[in-house]
Amino acid sequence: QVQLVESGGGLVQAGGSLRLSCEASGSIFSVNTMGWYRQAPGKQRELVADITRDGSTKYADSVKGRFTISRDNAKNTMYLQMSSLKAEDTGVYYCNTGGVYYQSSHSGRTYRPFDSWGQGTQVTVSS
């Protein structure tokens, strides 16, 4: 199938910056919209930002002007540059994407859809 691996989380002071990465790996045929979500303690998971294959972006109102999402289609990798971090940005950040993967056999390739989540990376902003 397809695995997503996030990296780049950590502890940072308010006003600081972090850059998250999410790499999709496996027998990937195509990747659609990629998104970053976060879950703060005691709260529901929420969309932070997403980006389509052609680069169109969408942001949560709470991060507009501070976060920038980008992707490298050749590497099946997505990034989230976070600046001017606030204590309320603290949480576990997850990446999500869907698309098509393939399985090879003696008779050829079989293509199937996928929707995958990463394991999450902790971001802690101290005030």
**pLDDT tens string 66-118:** 999 999 999 999 999 999 999 999 999 999 999 999 999 999 999 999 999 99
Phi-psi region of 62 (alpha: psi -120 to 50; beta: other; left: phi over 0): alpha
**pLDDT tens string 21-60:** 999 999 999 999 999 999 999 999 999 999 999 999 999 9
* 1 confidence band (pLDDT: 50, 70, 90): confident
69/57 Cα distance (integer angstroms): 7
Task: Say what the pLDDT of residue 69 is.
Answer: 98
Exposed (0-12), middle (13-18) or buried (19+): which is 40, by Cβ within 10 Å? Answer: middle
85/87 Cα distance (integer angstroms): 7
Task: Say what the pLDDT of residue 11 is.
Answer: 98
Q: What's the average model confidence in pLDDT over 110-127?
A: 97
Q: What's the average model confidence in pLDDT over 6-23?
A: 97
Residue 57, Cβ neighbours under 10 Å: how many? 13
Phi-psi region of 76 (alpha: psi -120 to 50; beta: other; left: phi over 0): left
Task: Say what the pLDDT of residue 65 is.
Answer: 98
